[in-house]
Structures are given as structure tokens and as C-alpha cells.
Amino acid sequence: MTKIGLEIHCQLTKLESKLFCSCKADYREFEPNTNICPVCMGIPGSLPLLNKSAVEKATLIAMALDCNTPTKIAFFRKNYFYPDLPKNFQITQLNVYGNTSIGWEGKISVGDKKIRIRRIQLEEDPGRLIYEGATEKTKLTLVDYNRAGTPLVEIVTEPDFETPHQVREFLNILSDLLENLNVSDPGLEGAMRADANVSIEGGSKVEIKNIGSFHDLEKAVHFEITRQQSLAERKIEIVQETRHWDDGRKITVSARTKEEEAEYRYHLEADIPWVRINDHTRNQLQTHMPESISSKKERYVSKHGITPQVADILSSNRYFSELFENAKNETNAKDIANMITTDIMGLLDTREKREMSKLEGDHISDLVEYVKSNKITRASAKLALDEVIKNGKQLSEIIEDLDLGHVSDEGELSDIISQVLTEEIKAVEEAKQNPEIVNFLVGKVMQKTRGKADPELTLSLLKKHLGID
């Protein structure tokens, strides 16, 4: 039997400052080594001060994952030497004096399967090493400490996964959940990284380290299972070790033999007192917890009559579900949801586009109302959407500016049809035998009116002109 467990590192990207100092948590905008201070650089004599919001956001994650949460949390030093770690230790958590980490014994459903969460801990991210050229040949390694000390939540699962596909599903669900809680933006580069441990038939555990994309993680786990199966078939011993995912060659490669936990010489971080989390704080957090994705989905179906498939897509994305919630959705909820999932998701398919967009919920409800009351066609609605996203103007103004108003005046439409009929003599001949050609002529009228002609009226007028019914 295959057993796969995960350790997911998730940055709390929505915080202002690092975990123990006032440097910025958003390190990405800085020149290398400019977002640093004596605390995150571990200069002797400097003292850490715990970021309260980080504890709250991490606790929200623990609650959302159904974990037990502690009455007191403690921090530990994990000692090791590595160039990305300026202090030579990382401040993290460890459940040795009782459960003092942010959360433990939680669970999350992946389809019909329950994945157990062993532990959630709050810790600091190390700096970043930048290799010039290929990792194995490089002569120069640069280090950037801007990231050192930024808040990280580590989520450790039990080895409950049996297939790479389950791993992928779990990560998608987890990433939607974190985004929905507004604690992290998993789309940011490096915001979510994972280690996986894989064993087959009760054999040794092999750990695959630090994979930044879900797609690669799924592949790496798949490769590792196949590698171990092939060793087992040939009766070759599987060694307990750490391996890296080589993205270029799409294989895992041996990195070093697995360190034992004891080698880190954990000890209590004496510079940070134990922190009590009282019932009041816990209740406050619970009360202000954003509505869960599954509850949103249920509400969209039962209250708004949206189909389960559309509700599923809409509820699992924080940005688009907010657009829906902000639209005037007491009436037309179904059409609003459809417009978001069919048109708008495609138009705003990247973070950059969403950030630049001027589209508000009200625009969407207005647009749906305009289409329903026949003031504009579906085709014009798309043009209007493009424009609203660019400039955020009122819909009425855009329809005026772009002259998108519906052409439903018989006289006006008849003139256009006559024009089309004189231009398309061949099609007119054929249309009398083959009714499908009529659709071609409708298309021509649409072209001339830039999609503004009322389709039903156009069709009936065309038939009249052609003398068919």
C-alpha cells in the first residue's frame, strides 16, 4: 500500500510585518537585502517581538481545518547552519511540552476521503538563495535576506494519501480555503511550497523537498512511487533519504540522508514568553471567521437557485464570489452567476487582470437587467463588459458612448436587411432552397449592426423579405 504525507508551507501574505520584527511581510517589492533589521538578521542583543496578527491568522487556519487549538503557545529554536538562515536557528514550534503549536488533530475532506491534519505550526521563513546558472555547476550563490523572518504556517498531514491525484486535489482545496480565509494569496510566487514523504508496502520513507508548484508535486510523487516500486520488484532496498525534484529531467534525485529530528537540537526560545490564547480571543476569531466555501455553495444553491456546478465554481474562488455577493443579486441571481462563470472568469483569468479591473458587482447586475429587458443583446453585453473592466464607467454611459443600444426599430432594421440582401445575391438565391443559409444572412445583419440587432426580429423580417416562413 502506498502512503503519502505532506508538509505544506504557506506564507501569511496578508500581514503587514514579519513574524518578530517590523520589516515588511511583503518582501517581493524590495531590492535584495534592504528589507532587513537587527532582529531578523539575528544580531546579538536584538530581541524578537511576536506579531499578534500572525498568531490570529494562523489560528483561523487551524480552526478552519477543524484542529484543536491551544490555550498557550510556545516557540522553539531549531538549530542548523545554512547560508539562508542568518541567525543559525529558525524560530518554530514543537509539541514536546504538551500541545503548544497553533493547532493539532484536524481534518479536511477530499471527495469521500478524510485527510487528517497532524499539526499546524507558526514559524519564520528563511532567506532565499539564488544560484547563478544550474544548481549543480554553479560557482556563485547569492543570498537575499528580505524574506528571512516572514510568517509561515506549516501544515503537516498524516500519511493518508494513496495517490498523486489525491495530493493534487487536496492542495487545490487547501489553497482555495486559505484564499477564502483571506490569510494568504496562494497565487504569489513561493507563497505555497510543499514537501512530500512517500513509502510503499510499509518500507522506508523518502522525503521530496521544497516543491513550489502543485503540478510538479503531483508529478514528483508519481515518479517517486514508480521508482520505489521498480526497486522493490528487483529486491533492492529503498533507503530512507531526502530527494529533490529535478524539474528539467522530471525525476527525483538523492540530496542527502535524512537528518534525525534530534540533530536540530531544539530548545525553548527563551526570548519569547509563552502566549496565552483565552476564550475571548478564540470566540472573537470564530465569530469573525469568513463563511466557509461549502456553506457558501449550499447557500447559492438553496437561496439563489444556482445549479450546484455553477455554485461550486463560484464559491471556491474568493474574488469571483465577492463579485457575486456585491452584485444586486436578489433578482436575476442565476443569470448573474452565469455571467460571472461564463464570461467574466475568462476575461479576468489572471491576477494582473483582476487587480487592474474596474468591474464592480453593480455593473454585472445592471448588465444582466439590460439584457433581460432587451435593451442590449448578449453580443453587446460582452463589448460593454470589456469596456467596464477597462474604465469602470456606468453601464448607461458606456452603452451611449459605444452606441450599443439595441436595434429593434423595424424601419431601421428593414433598411439594413435590404442592404444585406442586395450585397449577398448568391446567398439569397440559395436561402430559398436551404433554410440554413438564412442564419448566414442573420449573421451578416449582426455584423452590420455590430451585434446590436434584435435576433428574433431580424429573423422574422428576413424571412418576410425572402418570402419564406
Query: Quick check: 367 binds Zn ion (CB under 5 A)?
Result: no
Residues 6+ apart with CB under 8 A from 369: 332
Going across the sheet that includes 76-79, the strands are 89-92, 76-79, 267-268
Pairwise CA distance, residues 58 & 66, whole Å: 13
Scanning 22-30, 61-69, 157-165, 326-334 for contacts with Zn ion by CB under 5 A, the matching segment is 22-30
Closest CA to 188 of 154, 212, 210: 212
In angstroms, give the least distance from the CB of 134 to Zn ion.
32
In angstroms, give the least distance from the CB of 89 to Zn ion.
16
Residues 6+ apart with CB under 8 A from 19: 48, 50, 51, 54, 91, 122, 123, 124, 149, 150, 151, 152
Going across the sheet that includes 2-11, the strands are 103-110, 113-124, 151-157, 2-11, 192-200, 206-211, 241-246, 251-257
Scanning 38-46, 139-147, 209-217, 279-287 for contacts with Zn ion by CB under 5 A, the matching segment is 38-46
CB 398 within 8 A of CB 384: yes
In angstroms, give the least distance from the CB of 40 to Zn ion.
3
Of the pair 85, 217, the CB lying nearest Zn ion is at 85
Of the pair 37, 379, the CB lying nearest Zn ion is at 37
**Options 10, 15, 40, 420; binder of Zn ion; rule CB under 5 A:** 40
Query: Quick check: 21 binds Zn ion (CB under 5 A)?
Result: yes
Query: Quick check: 340 binds Zn ion (CB under 5 A)?
Result: no
In angstroms, give the least distance from the CB of 126 to Zn ion.
13
Query: Quick check: 23 binds Zn ion (CB under 5 A)?
Result: yes
Of the pair 43, 188, the CB lying nearest Zn ion is at 43
CB 93 within 8 A of CB 58: no
Query: Quick check: 50 binds Zn ion (CB under 5 A)?
Result: no
Angle (deg, nearest 10), helices 318-326 and 361-372: 60
Of the pair 27, 320, the CB lying nearest Zn ion is at 27
Placement of cell 529558525 in the chain: 90
The C-alpha cell at 224 is 517517486
By CB under 5 A, the residues from 401 to 430 that bind Zn ion are none
Pairwise CA distance, residues 288 & 294, whole Å: 17
Of the pair 87, 375, the CB lying nearest Zn ion is at 87
Query: Quick check: 54 binds Zn ion (CB under 5 A)?
Result: no
Q: What angle do CA 379, 381, 384 make, to 5 degrees?
A: 120
Of the pair 13, 315, the CB lying nearest Zn ion is at 13
Of the pair 21, 62, the CB lying nearest Zn ion is at 21
The SS3 assignment for 267 reads: strand
In angstroms, give the least distance from the CB of 17 to Zn ion.
8
Greatest Cα-to-Cα distance within the chain, rounded to the nearest angstrom:
94
- Binding-residue total with Zn ion (CB under 5 A): 5
- The two beta strands, 241-246 and 206-211, are parallel
Query: Quick check: 37 binds Zn ion (CB under 5 A)?
Result: yes
Scanning 18-26, 44-52, 193-201, 265-273 for contacts with Zn ion by CB under 5 A, the matching segment is 18-26
Of the pair 272, 327, the CB lying nearest Zn ion is at 272
In angstroms, give the least distance from the CB of 41 to Zn ion.
7
In angstroms, give the least distance from the CB of 152 to Zn ion.
15
In angstroms, give the least distance from the CB of 23 to Zn ion.
3
In angstroms, give the least distance from the CB of 151 to Zn ion.
12
Of the pair 49, 96, the CB lying nearest Zn ion is at 49
The pairs formed by 422-425 with CB atoms below 8 angstroms and a separation of 24 or more are: none
Closest CA to 304 of 326, 328, 327, 332: 332
In angstroms, give the least distance from the CB of 195 to Zn ion.
26
Closest CA to 332 of 364, 375, 359, 297: 364
Scanning 14-22, 258-266, 292-300, 401-409 for contacts with Zn ion by CB under 5 A, the matching segment is 14-22
Of the pair 143, 301, the CB lying nearest Zn ion is at 143
Contacts with Zn ion, residue ranges (CB under 5 A): 21, 23, 37, 39-40
